[in-house]
Amino acid sequence: MNIRTARQWMVTHEWMVKPMAQAEWIQGKGVLVWLAEVFSALGTGLYLVSVFFALKEDFAITAFWAGIFGWIMIAVFKLPLHLAYLGKPWRFWRAFPPFSNAWRTSWFSRGVVFTMIYLGFAAVQLILQGLVAYGRAAFDSGVMDANYAFMVLAGIFCVMTSIYCGFAMSYCKSVPFWNTGLLPIVFLLMGIADGLALIMGVGLVTGEDVIATAESATRIMLIINALLIVAYLVNANYQSITAELSVKELIVGHLAWVFWLGIVILGIIVPFAISVASYFTGKEATAGLLVFAIVCHTIGAFSLKYGVLKVGIYRPLLPRTQAY
């Protein structure tokens, strides 16, 4: 019997009979989660990159301001957006130890703790970095030694802040597309690439010569990220039929424009092309072109999180549809 002539439809209640897309974290108020996660990637990426640039005296001012912007993105955008999403925001303190021991099992709770610790260490580090950047302390003084120590501490918690949302999502067996260990790595490395793009913008304003260094790092990161995204999608494609549906939805479904235009073209190809062009011509890209690349890259960051959240599809409930 030709299956395409077979009629089958759902009656009474279609809930979880066929694969359903998750809506809680992307539709309606869920948009706030998406925005918070984007600022998380941008903020942590920018801060991590700023830490590396802070190691060189020539880039001290750029590293300082990049760190400040990264910190602001987490403290002023990410956390308040997460808070605004909560049904009972004034109960936020319940996620913190000692009011809750949920950090032992909950990635959400761990993430909140990581973020707060990161913000504390990073605030101290940025004060020390500011002292060095604006000549209040010498680069080889004890202040810089303390700065190194706080860079390490803040850097570790920044990485954890960056990856926890990937772990939180990959924990969900209900959504096979997310249920992979690659997700935190994708979020971390894409965040670093975003940070490299943003620090070029900071460099344009401060006038320090960070662009050449950032561009060469961007080239490598974009190649790694492109390969990682391909690996992620191929892995999901063979993981389960529901994950395969998510992949198809992203690549050829009604979210294809987000993937191809947002993630691939604007997020990867355009910044990579501008970066490669400056490599072959031997000249740095013009300020206008750099700003264009940064904007494209940032759109890519928004698109990546949107696409991943939007194609999260639950595996159906019934044995009859166990093919999924």
Partner 1 sequence: MTRWGMVINLAKCMRCHACVAACRIEHFLPLRVTWPRLIAVETDEGYKVDVSTYPVRCNQCKEAPCVDVCPTEASYKREDGIVAIDSNKCFGCRYCVIACPYQNRTYVSRKRDPGYFPGFSKTGFEKKGEKLYPHQRGTTEKCNFCMERIDAGLAKGLKPGIDREATPACVNTCQARALTFGDLDDPNSNVSRLIREKSGFVLHPEYGTDPSVFYIDYKLGGNDNKAPIEAQTGSHIQHLSSVYEPVKEKLAKRYE
The verdict on 40 binding partner 1 (CB under 8 A) reads: no
Cβ(271)–Cβ(296) below 8 Å: yes
| Smaller CB separation from partner 1, 245 or 296 | 245
Of 27, 141, 286, 322, the residue at the interface with partner 1 (CB under 8 A) is 322
The verdict on 238 binding partner 1 (CB under 8 A) reads: no
| Smaller CB separation from partner 1, 116 or 153 | 116
Q: Which run of H or E residues covers position 109?
A: helix 107-133
The verdict on 15 binding partner 1 (CB under 8 A) reads: yes
The verdict on 252 binding partner 1 (CB under 8 A) reads: yes
| Smaller CB separation from partner 1, 67 or 312 | 312
Residue of 269, 1, 33, 73 lying closest to 165 (CA atoms): 33
Residue with tokens 């120590």: 149
Cβ(60)–Cβ(129) below 8 Å: yes
| Smaller CB separation from partner 1, 170 or 206 | 170
d(CA 27, CA 29): 6
Interior angle at CA 290, CA 285 and CA 291, nearest 5: 155
Tell me the window of 55-63, 65-73, 95-103, 199-207 that interacts with partner 1 (CB under 8 A). 95-103
The verdict on 47 binding partner 1 (CB under 8 A) reads: no
What is the rounded end-to-end Cα distance, in angstroms, of the chain? 22
d(CA 14, CA 324): 16
Residues in binding contact with partner 1, number by CB under 8 A:
67
Chain residues binding partner 1 by CB under 8 A are 1-20, 22, 24-25, 28, 85-89, 91-92, 94-95, 100-102, 105-109, 112, 168, 171-175, 241, 245, 248-249, 252-254, 312, 314-324
